[in-house]
Amino acid sequence: MVQVKICGLKTADAVDAAVNAGADLVGFVFFKKSPRHVTPAIAGGLAARVPVGVLKVGLTVDATNDELAAITGNGAVDILQLHGVETPERVAEVRRKFGLPVMKALPIAAPDDVAAARAYEGVADRLLFDAKPPSGADRPGGNALAFDWGLLAGTRWNLPWLLAGGLTPDNVQAAIRVSGAPGVDVSSGVETVPGHKDAGLIDAFITAAKAG
């Protein structure tokens, strides 16, 4: 069964919608330039609504150790998602220092990008393949852009991975079929406007992904 992560949750209603629809992972964004940004205190309150068995992911972008300490200090996250330009060495350091699994997001646009991702196989617990942001973008993800899913077709990885970037209820089945992804991640694709999740779209996305 394909795993589904609903990312960028910032309200109780959105968290409840994701959980009730069957999300396997829920994501909180700790990046101030994102319209989905939440503080550690807000995330703590939202995390309390998430039942055991649903993993809580904290998305960060090139965060400092002090920032990561604030994010992880209240138990709001089970996994740290590093969505910046963190090196394999930094991934290993974060994993060791904070004692949490780490998911490394990697931007994909060409075969060389897929090859470069291999450097993270030995240090991360999960990988997330996302589209490269457009030139001049002020955030590395959540830009509603897809990449060529065929770049991942037939690849084999020694750890779980998720496909992200421009996914919607309408295209997620094709994305899974083409890429072979064992998991998918959506944020903007289940929103009516940036930062505002739609319960109906969340349900439609999860239903489509798990039926595909």
DSSP output for 21-86: HT-SEEEEE--TTSTTB--HHHHHHHHTTSPTTSEEEEEESS--HHHHHHHHTTS--SEEEE-S--
H or E element in which residue 132 lies:
none
Q: Quick one: which H or E segment has residue 107?
A: strand 102-108
- Candidates 16, 113, 125, 130; catalytic one: 130
Report the alpha-carbon distance of residue 211 to residue 176 in Å, rounded: 10
Contact 125, 159 (CB under 8 A): yes
Three-state DSSP class for residue 137: coil
Active-site residue, from 7, 78, 112, 185: 7
Token pair for residue 15?
């968290």
Distance CA 167, CA 193 (A): 15
Q: Residue 108, SS3?
A: strand
130 catalytic per annotation: yes
| 24 belongs to the catalytic site | no
Which residues have a catalytic role annotated?
A: 7, 130
